[in-house]
């Protein structure tokens, strides 16, 4: 018997978080990837199951049509596979009211942002999607995509351009206030998004700028948020697991760990779903939670991924089982990251760290080192400089932070074969790093060139003692492997 495709009529009732999508669209989400579908969509469906409201989600993919096409064919249904060693389950959010592909339907996206029913725009486009300069953290107005969006002679292609042009259309239509909510791993992500949108508007012709800036200040809020859930890429194994759990074929299931956390500022200009009934925490101190997650989870996750890839590990659970990698992770947390944080009162640091190791060891997820290690040139700029500088100013070289950078460089621009998992990592800086490695005659000159070029910001580049340690560890990894480098930093 042929297994039916997941659809409104075939989704098992026991898996549904709500029986059907809301009738009205209140949220436009930019970035129809796995993370959104496993995090914000699930929290929203759970909130609406408690307190119903006009908060259906219009999901907007960037360029790829794969997820959008599959969701259309499945009546906008898909499942989230919550995977753990203790068992798995599938849930169907049923919260999306439509899907668009921005590259093909940009005008419809701008209309959706401008629609009176829309009251929130949420974003998950990864750090790369914000088109800011890694050196200055300002909008990269010299990049061709941003310049093209500013000219306005074609539909906007950048996320910031789409938001700004959508808000411009909304202001002209008199559609009322709205909130723009970044759900990406950026420190102070709300403030940063607001600054980037303002910088875009500041580059517009004077008449457009003068029209839009006062309205933006009065009618748009940009709350900070922190999101946390490990969500790997989908594989055929996940599709088979979804079929077994649902009794239906889902072309786009989303694997995820059971854990999910969302911390937000309650600064919404036109209302919001009752996310507090779906586990979300509202606080005025989101930044403390952001830093906790960016450094303890994300920063250490990067270290595990790079060391694991260099040691031949395909997945994070495989890597964290290596004693030397687990030791490096513990020391990164204890020695380099935790001393730079003010842990929120609601968090027990020891319990949080123990939970991290349990999450990393979740073998049911099969979170790949190549996925976690990709885009390190953008990710590490969010995770390494501030804690590194805090230690350097007190006269201490942070060993595991230096090791993180060294392992990253060995994955992306190796002097020797770094293995298939490192080679599979994607990174916008890979070509430049490889060229720098070839151009410079010594490891130290290579590291100085990379750091001096702004990889981790201008201030860290001025600390020669940090660059020297990174160079020493690059040489150790190249000659003797990652385990030798870890031993050097932990003895």
Q: What is the pLDDT of residues 417-462, one digit of tens each?
A: 999 999 999 999 999 999 999 999 899 999 999 999 999 988 999 9
pLDDT for 342: 95
pLDDT for 75: 98
pLDDT for 275: 99
pLDDT for 56: 99
- Length reported for the chain: 491
Domains (range + CATH), the chain:
13-282 (3.40.50.720), 286-490 (1.10.1040.10)
pLDDT for 249: 98
CA-CA-CA-CA dihedral for 25, 216, 204, 60, to nearest 10: -20
Secondary structure of the chain as H, E, C letters: CCCCECCCCCCCHHHECCCCCCCCEEEEEECCCHHHHHCHHHHHHHHHHHCCCCCEEEEEECCCCHHHHHHHHCCCCCCEEEEECCEEEEEECCCEEEEEECCCCHHHHHHHHHCCCCCEEEECCCHHHHCECCCCCCECCCCHHHHHHHHCCCCCCCHHHHHHHHHHHHHHHCCCCEEEEECCCCCCHHHHHHHHHHHHHHCCCHHHHHHHHHHHHHHEECCCEEEECCCCCCCHHHHHHHHHHHCCECCCCEEECCCCEEEECCCCECECCCHHHHCCEECCCHHHHHHHHHHHHHHHHHHHHHHHHHCCCCEHHHHHCCHHHHHHHHHHHHHHHHHHCCCCCCCCHHHHHHHHHHHHCCCCCCCEHHHHHCCHHHHHHHHCHHHHHHHHHCCCCCHHHHHHHHHHHHHHCCCCCCCHHHHCCCCCCHHHHHHHHHHCCCHHHHHHHHHHCCCCCHHHHCCHHHHHHHHHHHHHHHHHCHHHHHHHHHC
Residues of the chain whose pLDDT is less than 50? none
pLDDT for 135: 77
């Amino acid at each position: 018997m042929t297994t039916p495709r997941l659809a409104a009529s075939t989704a098992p009732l026991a898996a549904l978080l709500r029986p059907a999508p809301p009738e009205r669209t209140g949220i436009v989400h930019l970035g129809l990837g796995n993370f959104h579908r496993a995090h914000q969509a699930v929290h929203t469906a759970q909130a609406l199951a408690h307190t119903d409201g006009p908060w259906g989600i219009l999901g907007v993919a960037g360029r790829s049509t794969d997820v959008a096409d599959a969701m259309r064919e499945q009546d906008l249904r898909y499942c989230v596979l919550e995977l753990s060693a203790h068992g798995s389950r599938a849930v169907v959010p049923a919260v999306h009211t439509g899907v668009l592909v921005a590259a093909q339907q940009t005008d419809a996206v701008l209309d959706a942002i401008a629609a009176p029913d829309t009251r929130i725009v949420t974003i998950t486009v990864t750090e790369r999607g914000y088109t800011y300069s890694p050196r200055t953290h300002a909008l990269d107005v010299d990049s061709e995509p941003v310049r093209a969006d500013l000219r306005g002679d074609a539909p906007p292609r950048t996320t910031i351009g789409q938001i700004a042009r959508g808000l411009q259309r909304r202001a002209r239509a008199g559609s009322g206030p709205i909130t723009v909510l970044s759900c990406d791993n950026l420190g102070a992500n709300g403030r940063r998004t607001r600054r980037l949108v303002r910088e875009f508007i500041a580059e517009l012709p004077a008449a457009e700028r003068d029209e839009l800036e006062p309205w933006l200040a009065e009618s748009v809020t940009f709350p900070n948020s922190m999101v946390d859930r490990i969500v790997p890429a989908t594989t055929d194994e996940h599709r088979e697991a979804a079929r077994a759990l649902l009794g239906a074929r889902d072309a786009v299931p989303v694997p995820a760990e059971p854990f999910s956390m969302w911390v937000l500022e309650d600064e919404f200009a036109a209302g919001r779903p009752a996310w507090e009934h779906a586990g979300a925490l509202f606080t005025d101190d989101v930044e403390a939670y952001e830093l906790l997650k960016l450094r303890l989870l994300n920063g250490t996750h990067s270290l595990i991924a790079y060391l694991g890839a260099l040691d031949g590990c395909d997945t994070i659970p495989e890597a964290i089982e290596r004693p030397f990698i687990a030791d490096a992770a513990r020391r990164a947390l204890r020695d380099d990251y935790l001393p730079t944080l003010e842990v929120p009162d609601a968090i027990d640091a020891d319990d949080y760290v123990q939970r991290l190791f349990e999450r990393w060891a979740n073998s049911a997820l099969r979170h790949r080192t190549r996925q976690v290690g990709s885009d390190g040139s953008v990710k590490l700029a969010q995770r390494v400089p501030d804690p590194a500088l805090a230690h350097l100013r007190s006269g201490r070289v942070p060993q595991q932070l230096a090791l993180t950078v060294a392992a990253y460089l060995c994955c992306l621009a190796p002097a020797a074969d770094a293995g298939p998992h490192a080679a599979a990592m994607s990174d916008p800086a890979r070509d430049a790093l490889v060229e720098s490695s070839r151009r410079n005659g010594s490891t130290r000159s290579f590291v100085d060139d990379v750091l001096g070029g702004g990889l981790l910001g201008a201030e860290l580049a001025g600390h020669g003692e940090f660059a020297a340690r990174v160079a020493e560890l690059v040489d150790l990894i190249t000659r003797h492997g990652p385990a030798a480098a870890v031993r050097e930093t932990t003895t």
